[in-house]
Structures are given as structure tokens and as C-alpha cells.
Amino acid sequence: MKIKMDYGKEGVFFDIPDNSDILLPNHKKKLSNPKDQIISSIDNPINSIPLRSLYKKGMKVGVSVCDHTRAQPRNEIILSLLKIFEGIKKNDLLIFIATGSHRATTEEEIKEIFDSEVISNTTIVIHNSEISSELENLGITSKKTPVILNKEWISCDLKITTGFVEPHFFAGFSGGPKMVAPGLAGIDTIMNL
């Protein structure tokens, strides 16, 4: 029996014995309008203040998103934020590609990740952990870890991290705080985490 397993863009096919039992997951119904669901979730957070009430016109907003190595609905999230921050200037909505120590996301990859609406209405910042002029040293933690982060991220008035939580093969779990460190940290910080 030939089986397809999701992997990369095309998937992988392999043969298994015909007498094998196959367990399939119960797939959830796809959302008919993901953008509306994202907006509803942002407008109705659990035990938190709605994002709209934190934003004031003229604020510089930074949004940290996964780089090209992670599957994430970045475009849908940013389109939702464009609706929430309706009228925000392109230079006031910065999308930070949280590369950590990975290579830079290419322009071609950016066009695969984001549609033209996101690209033309936001400023996309591809983080580089090794360009010291783009980093700011904020000091040292009690455990002697240098805190070096992206200067533009630090300058944002409102900071939003996106992502999802999944096991990481050597760094615990992805998402959450990792969207800042290591995602937007300098290499000296990353190597000491």
C-alpha cells in the first residue's frame, strides 16, 4: 500500500505492508474566514486587555513573526492587524522576521510568505543577529547573559509576538518569548541562552 506523508511542499510517498492498520487524525473543519476569527480572538482575549485598547494613533507597532523555517499563518495575522490598526502608516507597522541565528529570509521567501497588501502597507525588517549596528546592548542578567536585542524592536511603542507552541529539538518549546530571544537577539545573547 502506498502512503503519502506531509513533508515539505510536495510530501513523501512510501510503501507499507497491505495488512497494516492505519490511524488517521480527526481533522478540524477549516475556518471559512480566518481573518475574521483572528480579529475576533484579538478583540476578545482571555484574561487580558483587547489589543485595540492598547494601541493609540501614532504609535510605532512592532510585530515579531516566525522566519522562513517555520510554518505560520503570518499573512493572515498581519492582514488582521492591518484591519485592527486601520489607517496606520507603513512606517509605523514594522514586521520583524525573527531569524535568531538562522540565515536571512530572502526577498523571494518574503513574497511567498506575505501578499502584496502586507508588503505594500508595512515595513518588513529582516533581523540579523550579527550586525552590531542594528543591535542594542541592554545589560547583563543575574546569570551573566548579555541582553542584546534588535534596536528597531526596542524602539517600538507596542510590541506583539506571534507564533505557536511546539516542541523544539534542542531549545525546549517554540513561540512565546522565543520570538524575542533568540528571535530578535544578538548572537552573543543567543549563544548564552
Domain residue ranges in the chain = 58-193
What does the pLDDT read at residue 164? Answer: 78
Give strand pairing partners of 140: 146
Answer yes or no: pTM beyond 0.75: yes
- Checking if the pLDDT of 126 tops 80, the result is yes
Which stretch, 90-104, 155-169, 171-185, has highest mean pLDDT?
A: 90-104
The Cβ of residue 118 has, within 10 Å, a number of other Cβ atoms equal to 21
Report how far residue 122's alpha carbon sits from residue 64's, in angstroms, rounded to the nearest whole number. Answer: 13
Q: What CATH architecture is 58-193? A: 3-Layer(aba) Sandwich (3.40)
Confidence label for 149 from pLDDT (cuts 50, 70 and 90):
very high
Q: Annotated catalytic sites, by residue?
A: 102, 168
Mean pLDDT of all residues in the chain?
92
Report how far residue 86's alpha carbon sits from residue 65's, in angstroms, rounded to the nearest whole number. Answer: 20
- Checking if the pLDDT of 171 tops 80, the result is no
